[in-house]
Amino acid sequence: MRLIAFILLLLLPQTSLAQGAATLVADSVRVTEEQQLIATGNIEVLYEGTRLTATQITYAPEDDRLTITGPIVIQTTDGTLLMAQSGAMDPRLENGILQGARIVLDQQLQLAANQIDRREGRYSQLYKTVATSCQVCGDAAPLWSIRAQRVVHDSVEQQLYFDNATLLIRDIPVFWLPTLRLPDPNLERATGFLIPEQRNNTQLGTGIKVPYFITLGDSRDLTLTPYVSAETRTLELIYRQAFHNGSLRIEGAASDDTLEDTNRSYVFASGQFDLSGDYKLNFDIEAVSDTAYLQDYSYSSKDRLDSAISVTRVTDTTLAQVELTYYQTLRDDESNASLPPIVANALYETRDTERWGGTLTYGASIDTAYRYSEVDGDDGRDVSRIGAYSTWDDSWILGGGIVLQAETGLRADYYNVQDDSSYDSDILRAVPSAQITVRWPLASYNDGGAAHLITPVLSLGWAESYGETPPNEDSTRSELDQGNLFDLTRFTGEDAVETGMQAAVGISYTRIGAAGLDSSLAFGRVLRETENTAFTSSSGLDGLQSDWLVAGQISSPGGFLIDARALFDDNTGLTVADGRIAWKNDRVSLAANYIWQSADADEDLTDTVSAWTVDAGIVLSDAWQIDLDGRYDIAGDSPVSAGIVLGWQNECVNINVSASRSYTSSSTVDPSTTFGISGSLTGFSAGRSAAGTAASCQN
């Protein structure tokens, strides 16, 4: 029968009063004539969260010492395991010596030593130590290990200090350092080097990136990454800071390279903050020294930069927002002066659902677009607008399940136009509108448990513009899709409106399978009384009759998805087609996207667009993984980009080899190929855990 004795409570009153009692559980406990306590068999000692197991413990009150016979296992409050054959420790399990000992940190990094000295419950000093996170099989050497004359583990600072350290691959020494400091795997953030990366680029040559992470307190950190090759000297940085009401992130780089005669740099900064009164501040700053820098160094594929700052407040019934945006173009055929580079807007909207029988929405907005250029016409035009609007809508369910929805609205705008003589400087416009939409959902269920829903829809709308026509700044790119088929206007902004009588007709079919196989299909088009010349031919909305819209989707519980949409013109046939096929399970992730669009001079598309984009991720085994991506221009019969990443990992090593190729060429960006390799010894990286499967030991 197992006995429970409160050792320190009964025999060590001075310790118990100061620190609290230890609890001992053993098969047998006896006290000798010399007042020594001897516990044997299946021993457990618990003291302030620390747990010790052993086969025998002898407590000598004259020197306040525990003599322990193993195998010994000590588990501390942070999960650290200490194992030994024998040892001597104080009753608080804070100080002592363990012989033939081993420490296991975060269930992955193990340090074996001839002797471990425990001090103050904080420091563990190991002599003649071998450290590894690899599976150790008998007498076989692990894949990698670090041998050191002495190692000190600080459990409070969560740091490991090595003296006279040698890195070995199998049993072959490859690297020596007189001193070495590494974080233990329990530490989430620690100042020190991160995983280096070797890069080989056709423009920048062979180089290496060595990131260095610096903690600046609990809420800030900085990562500096020198990038050195035969063609460049670059310093990259990432600064992060958390506040009680938000966060800030700044990333950037500065380079001195052989590609340009001047120094090059970029900076991206973003932040989100909660202000008083439920307001939120968001900002995003983007700047670059030249048009090719981001793509030369693979920092970003953006061809336009947008720096914006906004203040927003959203409640159940109101929306308020003020935003200022600055654009910088990186395209060959654009200039900043004519974008326009500065766009500002302010909006207030409120919704009332209680007093008008339906939903009354009203608000006001103001916006401006400013160009640096002083030329007359599109490239120099400055436009400011202030307007107010109101809409009312309600819906009813009629006999037979027919759903009737009605909407009416009125908006009024004032425009001020500068630097464009084709428009008056002052323009007033009022737009009343009304719309009725009828839906008749028809549902059925079959014996297999599948549900079928067919919904024909008819929408009749009217709008008219009174006053002069303003320039169209914010609605130049519109396209018919299943999201706007039954809208009163399909322009994306405020400047352009659809006028006259119009009708939208469509029908949708949805099947919800009992086994999780779901599908949907929709058809529709728009009919108008008058043609709107602001729509381009590739939008699917030009003419008295829009193109036919066909859209469908199929999804299965096995992770398979097909999503497609197409626009068909009665005379010319296919206008736009885009689709996505995807499949995903525990080991495979495949996705392919296709787009086809006819040439359209009004949208600066001189040639037909036809392109495939492919992404794939395959887990080949517990150790191997491969990721692929690529884009191919079918119309131009040429690849655009391609990339591959091959990764191998086990319980103690992580290695990634990558290759990417950019085929796109312009007057500022040249095609380039980049090769990279990076690796890490799992177990020392702060905040990282071993993700690979441990190798098995075979006899």
Give the pair of three-digit tokens for residue 692: 């690979």
Which residues, 6 or more positions from 620, have their beta carbon under 8 angstroms from its beta carbon? 626
Q: What whole-number distance in Å separates Cα of residue 17 and Cα of residue 414?
A: 82
Instruction: Report the relative pairing of strands 342-352 and 359-370 from DSSP bridges.
Output: antiparallel
Exposed (0-12), middle (13-18) or buried (19+): which is 176, by Cβ within 10 Å? exposed
Q: Bridge partners of 60?
A: 65
Give the pair of three-digit tokens for residue 312: 């927003």
Comparing C-alpha atoms, which of 212, 216, 284 is closest to residue 249? 284
Torsion over CA: 680, 684, 685, 688 (sign)? positive
Q: What whole-number distance in Å separates Cα of residue 630 and Cα of residue 614?
A: 5
Q: What pLDDT is attached to residue 681? A: 77
Tally of CB atoms within 10 A around 425: 11
Q: Is 278 helix (H, G, I), strand (E, B) or coil?
A: helix
Q: What pLDDT is attached to residue 8? A: 40
Q: What pLDDT is attached to residue 189? A: 79
Give the pair of three-digit tokens for residue 677: 């390799």
Q: What whole-number distance in Å separates Cα of residue 626 and Cα of residue 408?
A: 55
Comparing C-alpha atoms, which of 131, 76, 103, 122 is closest to residue 684? 131
Q: Domain map of the chain by residue range?
A: 3-155+164-175, 421-431+444-452+463-603
Q: What whole-number distance in Å separates Cα of residue 439 and Cα of residue 236?
A: 57
Q: Is 337 helix (H, G, I), strand (E, B) or coil?
A: helix
Residue 538 — φ and ψ, nearest 5°? -80, -5
How far are the Cα atoms of 87, 116, 118 from residue 98, in angstroms, in the given order?
4, 5, 8
Omega prior to 340 cis, within 30 of 0: yes
Q: Kindly write down the DSSP assignment for every residue of 158-198, as one continuous string.
A: TEEEEEEEEEEETTEEEEEEEEEEEE-TT-S--SEE---EE
Comparing C-alpha atoms, which of 270, 279, 356, 285 is closest to residue 315? 279
Q: Is 470 helix (H, G, I), strand (E, B) or coil?
A: coil
Summarize pLDDT for 501-511 with one digit per residue, the tens: 999 999 999 99
Helix (H) or strand (E) segment spanning residue 16 = helix 13-19
Q: What whole-number distance in Å separates Cα of residue 485 and Cα of residue 549?
A: 8
Q: What whole-number distance in Å separates Cα of residue 145 and Cα of residue 158?
A: 20
Q: What is the topology classification, in CATH, of domain 3-155+164-175?
A: lipopolysaccharide transport protein A fold (2.60.450)
**Low-confidence residues of the chain, pLDDT below 70?**
1-21, 665-668, 683-699
Contact by Cβ (8 Å): 532, 546? no
CA angle 558, 563, 564 (to 5 degrees): 155
Q: What pLDDT is attached to residue 449? A: 84
Q: What pLDDT is attached to residue 16? A: 37
pTM of the model: 0.80
Comparing C-alpha atoms, which of 103, 117, 106 is closest to residue 72? 103
Which amino acid does the sequence have at 486?
Answer: F
First-to-last alpha carbon distance for the chain, in angstroms, is 39
Torsion over CA: 25, 28, 33, 34 (sign)? negative
Q: Is 51 helix (H, G, I), strand (E, B) or coil?
A: strand
Q: Is 621 helix (H, G, I), strand (E, B) or coil?
A: coil
Which residues, 6 or more positions from 535, have their beta carbon under 8 angstroms from its beta carbon? 478, 541, 542
Region for 77 from its dihedrals, namely left if φ exceeds 0, alpha if ψ lies in -120 to 50, beta otherwise: alpha
Contact by Cβ (8 Å): 457, 505? yes
Comparing C-alpha atoms, which of 184, 21, 180 is closest to residue 105? 184
Residue 482 — φ and ψ, nearest 5°? -70, -15
How far are the Cα atoms of 273, 323, 351, 361 from residue 348, in angstroms, in the given order?
20, 12, 11, 11
Question: How many residues in the chain?
Answer: 699
Q: How far is CA 387 from the centre of its chain?
A: 38
Q: Is 296 helix (H, G, I), strand (E, B) or coil?
A: helix
